[in-house]
Structure formats: structure tokens, C-alpha cells
Structure 1
């Protein structure tokens, strides 16, 4: 089964850059995930200030360009994994969060990708 990890950050961390040490640890984790056949795709996302939001309501679409000052959290990246079940996907998310240490406040929302 495939699982999507949506990685949310608090707005006050917008623009925060990962340290070289964190990038090295992330590289090791992603290498391990690839070697084990778990990692399908992962990436960080452009800043929320560069986002465009589309909303459909009552059949009409509204388009708004960022920045979105009312947003308290934003999705900073994602990780798509292949796991046997939700528990295994959660364990990978735990490892992902753990390498960030105490310098980041992150939330990883793990959700199964619904297959047709």
C-alpha cells in the first residue's frame, strides 16, 4: 500500500533553511528508504508565499495568490512511501521527524493513498 506523509510546519518557520548536518542525515535516511524499497517520491515545496489557492464554492472557482497571512501552518513537503500497513508508514514518519531534532516543529500527517 502507498502512504503519503504530508509535512506541516508552523508559519513562524517559513523560510527556515535546514542545516548541512540535517541535510546529511536526511540523505542517509532517504538512501536507506530507497535501499529498502520504501521510498517512492519525496520533495520540499516552494514557499507558501509563492502558492496559488483555488477554491470551488457553489460551482464557482476563486483563485487567490499567496502569501496567505491567515495561515498558521503550511505543508512544507511530502514523502510518498510503499509500506505493508499504516503502522510501518508511521514508523518511517517517526524516523523522518526524529532526524530534525529539537530545532524544528513539524507535523507528519500519514494517510493511505486510496487505490482504484
Structure 2
């Protein structure tokens, strides 16, 4: 076995999503992108703060998309970092659990405009 990666299947906006995520999270990068003739992502690898992900643009339309039961959990350094990521990634998305102070720290859970679920926590 070589590697185990979280896999994200987008429907035409994989490259836009990767660019958005890597622009918001310091220490992130897109390391590999292969495109089809029509410009869709056939295969891409990107990392967010060292965590690698693989993604594609689906070549077929299907009735399913992402689900909040799988989410990217981000342990932040501060309340400000939680707030910034919440504001940036919840735009045109959906708030599943609002930004607030909870017994376990500043926390928010959202689904972004691409359908990916994110949790942010400063874990006080």
C-alpha cells in the first residue's frame, strides 16, 4: 500500500475549490493537476496544512453530492482564525452550527459553496 487519501468528487468546479482552499489556509498547495480535453480535472492532489487530498471533476452527472457526515475538521490557533475561516468559507454556503462559544472553545460547522463540510475549533 502506498498511501491513503481523502477523496473529493466535484461536479465541474474542483480546480476552483482547490484554489479557494489553498488561498485561505497557510501552508497549503496544489501539487498535481491533470486536465481532460474539455478542461475538467481528471485527477488532482492538493494539501491543506500538510494534509493531502485527491480530487476530480466527475465525468458523469449523478444524483448525489457531498454529505456533512464527512467533514474537514480544522484545529485553529485562535478565535480570530476560527472567525476568519468561518466568514470566508460560509459565504454562499450553509451554516450547520453557528459560530459561537461552546464548552469546548470557539466553534462553527458549515458547508461551503462547493458542498464540502468544515468544522472549525480553537479547542480552548
Structure 1 length-normalised TM: 0.36
The structure whose RCO (Cα within 8 Å, separation 6+) is larger is 1
Larger Rg: 1
Greater share of strand residues, 1 or 2?
2
Greater share of helix residues, 1 or 2?
1
Structure 2 length-normalised TM: 0.34
